Every structure is written in C-alpha cells, then in structure tokens.
Chain A
Amino acid sequence: MDSLYFFMDSLVKYGYLQNAMIAGVMVGTVCGFIGCFIILRGMALMGDAISHAVLPGVAIAYLMGFSIFIGAVITGVLTSLGIGYISQNSKLKDDTAIGLMFTAAFALGVVLITLQRGTGVDLWHILFGNVLAVSREDLWLIFFIGLLVVVSIFLFYKQILLSTFDPVMARAVGIPTNAIHYLMMLLLSLVTVASLKTVGIVLVVAMFIAPGATAYLLTERLPSMLGLSAVFGVFSAVTGVYLSFIYDVATGASIVLVASFLFALSFFLSPKQGILVQKYRLWKAGV
C-alpha cells in the first residue's frame, strides 16, 4: 500500500509521470483494438514485421530532420508492399517473405542509427521505449493516431469484418479486400509509431496480440472481444508503468509482462476455454 501511495503522490507531483500514464492508456486502447483484427486475420507475424520495419523510417527521419511519423509510415507500408510482392512473384510462402523483409529493414535501421552516433538519437530508447520522456507533442501525436485508428475501424467495421471472416464472399460482393489489407498495414505502422515511446519497436507486437488473445479466449462476439482487449491493453499499460516506477525497471518490458500474465490467467482459467477449468470439469464429471 505504501508503494501505491508513493506512486499516487508522484503521479500528482510529476508531469512526466502523468504523461506516461496518459500515453499508456491511449496506447493500450488502440493496440487492443487493432490487435483483435491482427489475431483474427492470422497476421501476428505481419504485425511483428511491420513494427520492426518502422525502424529505418525513424532513423532516416532523424537524419533528415523530418517527422518520425512520416518516416515510419513510409517504411512500414513499403515493407508490407514488399512482402506482398515477394510472396506473389515467387514460390516463397508469406512467412518466408515476412522473415526476409523485416530483418532486412530492421538491420538497415540499426545501421542508419549507429551511423549517426553522437547525435543524441538513442537506439535503446527507440527499440525499447522511454515512457518517462513522453512530451506534450507526443501525447497529441498518440491521440490523433488513436483517433484515426478507432474511427477507421468503426467506419469500416462491416468491410473489415466480412473480409476477415469470409474473404471470398467479401470479394464477390465487391469489397476491396486488398485495399483493406493495406489499410490494416497502414494502421499497424501508425500504431507502432504511437507506441514508440511507451513500449518501443521490439516489444510492441506483444501489445498487439497479448490483450487480443486474452480477450479471444474469454468471449464469443467480436464487439465484446474488442472491448475486453482494450480494457486488458489499458490495464497492462497502467500496471506496467506503475511497476516500472516502483521497481525502477524498463517500462515497456513491464507492460508486456503484465499483458502476458493476463494471457496466462485466461489461458488457464477462462470459463469456456481454460485448460485448468476443462481439466477440473473432466475430473468432476468422472467422480
């Protein structure tokens, strides 16, 4: 309780902690939303790829002095186009194309950043986040990205749902499933940028899939999966920031650990799917 009091006290006192909290709440919500569709579309690996592929864009943006937001989106989307191009024009499967493209992009990013050592760009912070350095501008950026993502999902909910659930019918009735695929890739790149300071590039994929996967085990309707996933995302972010503050450990990693812990809970204890719950039922039925 002492540490909770200490945390609350600091939260009131320090602006940087408030910013970290607000960023965490927004990032948790947005990652939770987009993550559901990533899971249902079987794109977890793609999410990992896009988030890593954002790195060279961020590096070039620092180098040339324009917004990292633009750089990240450009390389994120280019990578997803490259992945599509390779898998359509060779006999390689998607996962091979993904593995090739994103490691290449990531390596390019690392080289570009290490090239400009001494200019104050900290590779560690881009890779793993630096939530205590979230500025006002960062908060606004996260807010607008979040708004864009949430509005896109609500506006195109029907099209995204149908093209995810039954792509053949979706195409048959004229829904541009390819455009929707690239819209998802674009949103993924944007959310990665939004999460840069909070969890960083390397771990952000966990924020895409852990809350969504947790929710997936607990519900049977998409709207409630979206809602729960956002709640788990926010809970992980807030608890993660708290734990990292109290124990003075890396914030992004703490957030991801909380999210993973939630997943483990629902994996073992979910009323319908939980492994332990099923074992218990079998045991009880046997008696």
Chain B
Amino acid sequence: MGINVRVNNLAVSYNGVKVFENITFSVESGQLVGIIGPNGAGKSTLLKSILGLMSIDRGEVEILDGSISKARRKIAYVPQRNDINLDFPVSVEDVVMMGRFPHLTWWGLPRRKDREVVTESLKEVGMIGYRHRQIGQLSGGQLQRVFLARALAQEAELFFLDEPFAGIDISSETMIMDLLRGLRNQGKSIFVVHHDLNKAETYFDTLVLLKNRLIAFGSREEVFREETLKEAYEGRVSTFAGSDKLMVVNG
C-alpha cells in the first residue's frame, strides 16, 4: 500500500496571521481520515492547503507520489453547503456531470460514456429520481448526496469533504458513510472535516486533531485520549464516571 498524501512541516497563514505550523503526517491508501478540532482550528484551511489552493509559508504537500499539479484530476472535493449558490440554474444531473469535466478535453463535450457514469453515480446515491430537479429544491441530505455523486463520477483517488454531515438527516448520513466506507475498501483515501466527536470515533480509521497545530494524529486510541482532547478543546471536556467514554462540551 502506497502513501497517498504526505504533509511535511506545513505552515499556513492568512495575511501574516498564522493558522497553523509544523503539521506533519502521512496517509496511506484505503483510509477514512477524520479532521477534527474546535471552530477556527484550521480544519478547512488544512483541506485547502492539501488541495493546493493556499499559498503555503513553509513545508510541502505530496499527493499520489508527486506534486499536486500532476494529481489534480484525481482529486474530488465536496464543498461545504453554505459555499454553494442554491439558486444557480443547474439541475442535479448538471452538477454530477461537472465531475466528468476533468476527464474531458478543454472544449470537448460530454460523450455517452460520461452520461452513463453520471447515471450510475446518481443511482449509487439514490438520487436518480431527482436528476432533473434544480438543486435548490433538495433537502440538505439530498444535496450532499448529489455532491457525493459528483465526486463518484469524477472517479477520483482522493476525496475531500468539508463538513458533509452538517445539518442533514440521519438516513442521508448513514448512506453517505456507507458509500465512503465502500470507497475506502476500494483503496481510495477520504478526508472528512467533522464536528461531532462522538461519531468521529466510530466513523474514521485515522484522525487528525487540530488546534492551530497538530495536537494528535493516528488511530482512535492514539487521538481519543483525555489529554489530547483537553488540549484541543481547552478543558471543555468531561469524562463520564464509570465509563471511559469522553464527552466534549462545545461552546
């Protein structure tokens, strides 16, 4: 199994204000990686840096054994819901077709194969019946499934999802998790920014705990320890007596 993503000594800032520094970790293929940490910890920024969308101060990011520019089309991204203009005049099918754009030439039109892939992807997320709907007329969960279908249609190696479970119903969440596990089992690597610590523990194989630096990285056991969580969430962590389950109190 090869290394899919290697981040080495990464430091990033916005207009001179440091978000984080000294981030080093690597992720093999076939991993579901959760990126967790409190608000403002730099989760979205880390995602954008790995995607090559930030100018980085120091360090390097290697993707699929090369620099990001060679790997671009193999990277799928699922945006945060409030980054999308829901009134945009595109249908569900149009959005999923965007996943095929990296496979087309600059001016080429979608072919039959592309349309088939789009149909397949829509079926996989159970949204084929909505293919002609305008995207503003979907529930939050349905919308996430459509964006996941777009990522599937892209036939990517690496998947990046920014808070895909924020404000969606449990059945969509379960379905998306099942699909992500399926992808993981095919050897893809999936990065998910996630808020809910209780679920993070069961959802992910590998965890990245951030708080303006890398607090902890590794398996659940390594990351879900009282000291690390307390450090990230500044003591707003309490342990239930009689169980070793940790509970985080946010806010």
- Is B107 a contact of A221 with CB atoms below 8 Å? no
Given that A168-B77, A169-B77, A169-B79 are known contacts, is A162 also in contact with B91, CB under 8 Å in the complex? Answer: no
B3 near A: Cβ within 8 Å? no
- Mark out the residues of chain B between 65 and 89 whose CB falls within 8 Å of any chain A CB in the assembled complex: 69, 72-73, 75, 77, 79, 83-85, 88-89
- Mark out the residues of chain A between 121 and 179 whose CB falls within 8 Å of any chain B CB in the assembled complex: 155-156, 158-159, 161-162, 164-166, 168-169, 171-174
> CB-nearest residue of chain B relative to A155?
B107
- Is A168 a contact of B94 with CB atoms below 8 Å? no
Which of A40, A161, A168, A219 sits near B53, CB closer than 8 Å? A168
- Is B90 a contact of A165 with CB atoms below 8 Å? yes
- Is B72 a contact of A169 with CB atoms below 8 Å? no
B119 near A: Cβ within 8 Å? no
Number of interface residues of B (CB under 8 A): 28
A220 near B: Cβ within 8 Å? yes
> CB-nearest residue of chain B relative to A91?
B15
Q: How far is the CA of A225 from the CA of B134 in the complex (A)?
A: 13
Given that A174-B72, A216-B89, A222-B90 are known contacts, is A158 also in contact with B53, CB under 8 Å in the complex? Answer: no
- Is B51 a contact of A172 with CB atoms below 8 Å? yes
Given that A166-B98, A220-B134 are known contacts, is A172 also in contact with B90, CB under 8 Å in the complex? Answer: no
Which of B69, B83, B91 sits near A174, CB closer than 8 Å? B69
- Mark out the residues of chain B between 40 and 74 whose CB falls within 8 Å of any chain A CB in the assembled complex: 48, 51-53, 69, 72-73
- Is B73 a contact of A173 with CB atoms below 8 Å? yes
Q: How far is the CA of A169 from the CA of B77 in the complex (A)?
A: 6
- Is B79 a contact of A158 with CB atoms below 8 Å? no
Q: How far is the CA of A95 from the CA of B95 in the complex (A)?
A: 30
Q: With a CB–CB cut-off of 8 A, which chain A residues contact B182? A: none
- Mark out the residues of chain A between 209 and 234 whose CB falls within 8 Å of any chain B CB in the assembled complex: 216, 219-222, 224-225
Q: With a CB–CB cut-off of 8 A, which chain A residues contact B53? A: 168, 171-172
Number of interface residues of A (CB under 8 A): 23
- Is B102 a contact of A173 with CB atoms below 8 Å? yes
Q: Shortest distance in angstroms between A213's beta carbon and chain B's nearest beta carbon?
A: 12
- Is B98 a contact of A165 with CB atoms below 8 Å? yes
Q: With a CB–CB cut-off of 8 A, which chain B residues contact A164? A: 88
Q: With a CB–CB cut-off of 8 A, which chain B residues contact A220? A: 89, 91, 134
- Is A221 a contact of B77 with CB atoms below 8 Å? no
Q: Shortest distance in angstroms between A57's beta carbon and chain B's nearest beta carbon?
A: 30
Given that A162-B98, A168-B53, A221-B94 are known contacts, is A40 also in contact with B88, CB under 8 Å in the complex? Answer: yes
Q: With a CB–CB cut-off of 8 A, which chain A residues contact B134? A: 220-221
Q: Shortest distance in angstroms between B94's beta carbon and chain A's nearest beta carbon?
A: 7
B168 near A: Cβ within 8 Å? no
Q: How far is the CA of A67 from the CA of B90 in the complex (A)?
A: 40
Q: With a CB–CB cut-off of 8 A, which chain B residues contact A174? A: 69, 72-73, 102
Q: How far is the CA of A174 from the CA of B102 in the complex (A)?
A: 8
- Is A221 a contact of B79 with CB atoms below 8 Å? no
Q: With a CB–CB cut-off of 8 A, which chain A residues contact B102? A: 173-174
Q: Shortest distance in angstroms between A78's beta carbon and chain B's nearest beta carbon?
A: 25
- Is B90 a contact of A173 with CB atoms below 8 Å? no
Q: Shortest distance in angstroms between B186's beta carbon and chain A's nearest beta carbon?
A: 20
> CB-nearest residue of chain B relative to A225?
B89
Q: How far is the CA of A280 from the CA of B135 in the complex (A)?
A: 25
Q: How far is the CA of A156 from the CA of B104 in the complex (A)?
A: 12
Q: With a CB–CB cut-off of 8 A, which chain A residues contact B85? A: 40, 165
- Is B106 a contact of A159 with CB atoms below 8 Å? yes
> CB-nearest residue of chain B relative to A220?
B134
Q: How far is the CA of A106 from the CA of B119 in the complex (A)?
A: 51
Q: Shortest distance in angstroms between A89's beta carbon and chain B's nearest beta carbon?
A: 10
Q: How far is the CA of A206 from the CA of B104 in the complex (A)?
A: 36
Further pairs besides A168-B48, A174-B69, A220-B134: 15, Cβ < 8 Å: A40-B85, A158-B101, A159-B106, A165-B84, A165-B85, A165-B90, A169-B77, A169-B79, A171-B51, A173-B72, A173-B101, A174-B73, A221-B94, A222-B94, A224-B89
Q: Which residues of A contact B (CB under 8 A)?
A: 40, 155-156, 158-159, 161-162, 164-166, 168-169, 171-174, 216, 219-222, 224-225
Can you spell out 8 A-B residue pairs with CB atoms less than 8 angstroms apart? A155-B106, A158-B101, A159-B101, A172-B72, A172-B160, A216-B89, A221-B89, A222-B90
Q: Which residues of B contact A (CB under 8 A)?
A: 48, 51-53, 69, 72-73, 75, 77, 79, 83-85, 88-91, 94-95, 98, 101-102, 104, 106-107, 134, 154, 160
3 pairs of A and B residues whose beta carbons are closest in the complex? A174-B72, A220-B134, A173-B102
